[in-house]
């Protein structure tokens, strides 16, 4: 699967798309594939603060529970309520299914994240493919 070039990525396998000051965050195809069938997503509340490289929630699959790490610092402006009843949407369309939206407190953090080519190289290193 090609990773969207408009996104930036973390080594914890989250993606973020920036629109002005708002970052939309989800997990990558690699992450959902590694997790297997996702059965539950735990997210913060709107208004909660998140910090770059810190846990903001978790994804539970039939295999394991995996922490979600925020790529940026800021305030949660929205959560994807669809995931309460249909967490498997992440498995179906990981790069279209967002988990939270965050108003960035430091937009320069976005620039420090991996671009698509760097993320793909990181996965290749991690998997040996």
Residue 127, pLDDT > 90, answer: no
CA distance 104 to 8: 14
Q: How many domains does the chain have?
A: 1
In sequence order, what are the residues at sequence separation of 6 or more whose Cβ sits closer than 8 angstroms to the Cβ of residue 107? 18, 21
47 within a domain of the structure (yes/no): yes
Q: What is the pLDDT of residue 126?
A: 84
Report CA-CA distances (Å) from 105 to 14, 21, 49, 60, 101.
18, 8, 10, 28, 13
2 within a domain of the structure (yes/no): no
Q: Which domain holds residue 65?
A: 8-124
| CA pseudo-torsion sign 117, 118, 122, 125 | positive
Give the model confidence (pLDDT) of 63-103 as tens digits. Answer: 999 999 999 999 999 999 999 999 999 999 999 999 999 99
Q: What is the pTM of this model?
A: 0.96
């Amino acid at each position: 699967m090609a990773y969207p070039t408009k996104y930036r990525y973390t080594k914890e396998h989250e993606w973020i798309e920036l629109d002005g000051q708002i970052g939309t965050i989800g997990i990558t195809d690699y992450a959902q594939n590694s997790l297997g069938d996702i059965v539950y997503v735990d997210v913060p509340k709107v208004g909660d603060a998140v910090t770059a490289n810190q846990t903001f929630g978790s994804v539970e699959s039939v295999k394991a529970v995996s922490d979600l790490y925020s790529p940026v610092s800021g305030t949660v402006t929205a959560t994807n309520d669809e995931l309460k009843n249909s967490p498997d949407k992440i498995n179906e369309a990981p790069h279209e299914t967002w988990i939270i939206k965050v108003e960035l407190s430091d937009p320069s953090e976005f620039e420090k994240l991996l671009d698509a080519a760097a993320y793909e190289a990181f996965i290749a290193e991690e998997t040996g493919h």
